[in-house]
Each structure stands twice: as structure tokens, then as C-alpha cells.
Chain A
Amino acid sequence: MSNILCSISTRGRYDTTLPLALQAILNQTKLPNKLIIFDDNDEPRDVRGELFYDYFFKICDIKGVKWEWVYAEKKGQHHNHEKANMAGFEWVWRIDDDCIPEPNVLENLYLYTNVNVGAVGGAILTPPINPDTSKCTGKIENIDSEPNIQWSEIKKAKEVEHLHCSFLYRAGVHDYNLGLSRVAHREETLFTYGLYLKGYKSLVVPHATSWHLKNPQGGIRAETNKDMYHRDELIFRNILAYKNKKIVVLNCGMGDHIVFSHVLPEIKNAEVFTCFPEIVAGRSISEAISLFGGIDEWSIYKKMAQWKWTDSLENAFRKMYI
């Protein structure tokens, strides 16, 4: 039995594309178990009592889709996605608030899930844009030289290394990079590439088209500070530059470093960032933050809590890095 959370993060689109996206979710041939809406508006409004939203949530109740409206922290959609990621569901279907999925999208994305799959995406079309993607590889190394494979119709399922915009993903196995700015430029690329690096397949599949009605108002396009984009792009490039290394970040105590030192010989090609270089040699934690933005994804204590860990700390390090 499926266990799917549908997550949507919204800003500045109460009265434009958000209601369309919500309606499209409720019209799916396969419904999610729960819908969570993260309200990231600068001046939030309680739309739950407004006539048409009220109808919408009543229909959710009738259709058996649990729903939750969350007034978010205004730190950017990646923080909201991370909350959804860790909400205890097996799968999360993330949708942008200007993205309108056709009725068969969730059903067809879910058809491709299995134990080896980390994420599944369909076509994300913005008319009239229709690039030739027939030769696209979907590899991260080609991200600057080819259009995104999801920008045109997808004729057959294909393995890729990163996905874009809206997709279904395995929850709780990889973290969103919370070091990105509020615009969260490249957040979904980094996230799905992280799933790929963890050994899961990412797929693009046919018959799962969403219409991306790119709205110049609201969303990340409400941010005009170019420094945010620039910094996020730098983090993205740094992570790509280390793609052949196993990044190790030891932001923990001295004793933890000693325990980790017994695991280090088993890690191939490690690039270590450390608090106690006299115990485990490496570069500084501040350098890790500067290079990669957030380092929470390497917090061994956060991971053990998330895994409800009962085995040894040493084996927790093994699970994280080997």
C-alpha cells in the first residue's frame, strides 16, 4: 500500500496558480494520502475560511485526503521540502505552486517506484517552449550543454542523474541543502543528484506531464537579489567539483572523532572536514560551510535520531559514509 505525501510550497500565488495546482492534485487518478501546503507568503492570509479554498478542503475530506496548511518560516522552499522529506512518509510528491499536473501523473510516477528507485519525474512543459531533448543524457556533467530532458515530451523511461521542478521521491534518505539562500536556486537538482549519489536510480518517465505555468509573480521569482542566485550557484558548482570524492564532515565531539577514525580507513577517496584535526586530519568546518552551504546532512546525531538508531556510533558512521 502506498504511503505518499503531496507537498506544495507557495508564495505570492493565492489568487493565481495555487488554486489550479491544488485542483489538479485532487483530480489525480491516484490520490496522495496527505496534502501539505507550506505558506511562505511575506504577508500570509488565512485562506482556509475563504469560500473556494473552503470548498477545496471539504472535497479533500470527502475524498479521504488528509490536508494540512502550514505557515512556514519564510526561509525558502527548500526548508519546507525538508520538513516534508522528514515527515515520515515513504514517498513525497512535490509540486510547484505554478505547476499543473495532468490527472494521471501521480499514478504513472508511482508505477515506476521500486526498492532501487530514489526519484521519478515526468515532462514539465512550459508552452511554447519545446526544445529537442532527443539526445539529452540527463547526466549532471552535461547540465550546461543540454536542455533539461523534462522540458519536452518524454517518450520512454530513462535513467538520469538529476530532476527538475516536480517529481516523486523516496523520503528520508537524502537531505535538502539548507545552506542555500531563500531563492533556493538549484535546490531540486542538488537534491535529486544527492539521491543518485546515494545509489538510487532517478528516472524520467512518459505519460506524466505537468504544465509549468511559469508565473513571473511570486515563488522564487519574487526575489531579485542576484547575490542569492550567485551564492547558490557557487555551492552547486562546489558540490559538482567534489563529485568523485566522499565528503566527510565531522561537526561533532572529540570522542566521536576517535570513533570515526576507526571507520575512515574503509572510506574510499574521502575528503574530510574536521573539528579536531589532531585526531582526524582534514580541513576546517568553516571551509565546509563555505563550500557546500549547509552541513546538516552530515550531522551524525541528526541522522541517528532520524534513523531511530540503536546500534553503535561506529556503525552509524559506516551507514553514513560507506
Chain B
Amino acid sequence: MLLEKCIYKIYMIIISPYSKALRNGKINPKNYPYWKELIALIKEPIIQIGIEGEEQLVPDFRKNLSLTELEMLVDECRTWISCDSFLQHFGWDRKKYGIVLWSVSDPLIFGHPENINLLKDRSNLVQNQFLWWEFTDHDPNKFFNPSLVLECLNANFP
């Protein structure tokens, strides 16, 4: 039992797949489009965190966690993978660093250098970083390929 706990503790990854829902119902341009492919490549337990109404991608989906619950979970994981959302700040604050999948928002402004910030190309960044995301279309071509994310995961968080 103890051994199982230890193994679980070492091999668990948190994912936070979605940025805040947009008021116009469009897909948030910061949402990573290849979660299903990425999840298929990761051979260890994954816990998804988020809120009610978001699509469930793995069997263990924990919704609406309190900050205390989230603290415990983040402290237990090997690392986490997130789009540009709350978790990248939360993990950084707890000094538990992870991978952030960027597209149109600027990691130099909204990110933290201690995390692994995967931005495909700075030319994809929207010109005005401070407007509502409702004005920006979602474009899957602006994100890192899942196999590259996996490589990065294994290289940086062995």
C-alpha cells in the first residue's frame, strides 16, 4: 500500500486544459487543441482540473477545487501541463513548475520564466495583448505539436 502511494505520488501529472470560457461562446484562442493526442502519449496517471461544464478528457476530472485542495494536489504531482490560465500562476507561486502551452498571449508578459513556456512562434502573438480574447479567433496551427510537448515533458521533468 505504501509502495503504491509512493509510485502514485511520483508519477502523476495534472492538466488544466481550458482557459476561461468566452462570453460570445467562441473557443478561447488560448485553449490547446491537441489534448486528446497529448494525453494518449502520456503513460502515467493524469488528473484533470477545471470547472463544471468543461469537457472531461481523462477519467479523473476534479472540478471546482478549493485552493487548499489544489495546493495539496499540485504538491503531489510530478509536474503539470496547462494552457495560459490560472494554474501556471498557481504552480509558479508554489514553486512547483510545469509546462505552459502558449499560442496568442505573450509568455514574456503573462508567463513566468521558471516554467517551461512552449510558444511556437512569437509572430503568432496578438498585437494588443490587453484586449478581450473574444476578438481573437482560435487557430490550432499556433500551438506546439503534442509529440514535442511530450519530448519537453520527459526532458525537463524526468
Q: Are B128 and A255 in contact (CB under 8 A)?
A: no
- Assuming the contacts A253-B20, A304-B130, asked whether A258 and B109 have C-beta atoms less than 8 A apart, the reply is no
Residue numbers in A under 8 Å from B130 (CB-CB): 301-302, 304-305, 309
Given contacts A312-B109, A313-B110, contact A255 B86 (CB under 8 A): yes
Which residues on B sit within 8 Å (CB–CB) of A227? none
CB distance from B106 to the nearest CB of A (A): 8
B89: interface (CB < 8 Å): yes
Inter-chain contacts of B67 with A (CB < 8 A) = 278-279
Residues of B within 8 A of A256 (CB): 89
| A262, A279, A304, A313, most chain B CB atoms within 10 A | A313
Contact A255 B109 (CB under 8 A): no
Does A133 belong to the interface (CB within 8 Å)? Answer: no
The contact size tier of chain A is 20 to 34
Contacts of B106 in A (CB 8 A): 310
B108, A255: Cβ atoms closer than 8 Å: no
Task: Give the interface residue-count category, chain B.
Answer: 10 to 19
Name the residue of chain A whose CB is nearest to the CB of B92.
A258
Of residues 272 through 322 on chain A, the ones whose CB sits less than 8 Å from some CB of chain B are 278-279, 301-302, 304-305, 309-313, 316
What sequence of 0s and 1s flags, for each residue 40-68 of chain B, a beta carbon within 8 Å of any chain A beta carbon? 00000000000000000000000000010
With a CB–CB cut-off of 8 A, which chain B residues contact A259?
Answer: 89
- Assess A258 versus B89: contact at CB under 8 Å? Given A253-B20, A310-B108, A312-B108: yes
Are B85 and A305 closer than 8 Å at their CB atoms?
no
A305 — which chain B residues lie within 8 A by C-beta? 128-131
- Contact in complex: B93, A258 (CB < 8 Å): yes
B90 at the interface (CB under 8 A from A): yes
> How far in angstroms is the closest Cβ of chain A from B22?
14
A24 contacts the other chain (CB 8 A): no
What's the minimum C-beta distance from A64 to chain B, rounded to whole angstroms? 32
Residue of B88, B129, B131 touching A255 (CB-CB under 8 A): B88
- CB pairs A–B below 8 angstroms (24 shown): A254-B86, A254-B89, A255-B85, A255-B86, A255-B89, A255-B90, A256-B89, A258-B89, A258-B90, A259-B89, A261-B93, A262-B93, A278-B67, A301-B130, A302-B130, A305-B130, A305-B131, A309-B109, A310-B106, A310-B108, A310-B109, A312-B109, A313-B109, A313-B110
A residues with a Cβ closer than 8 A to B are 253-256, 258-259, 261-262, 278-279, 301-302, 304-305, 309-313, 316
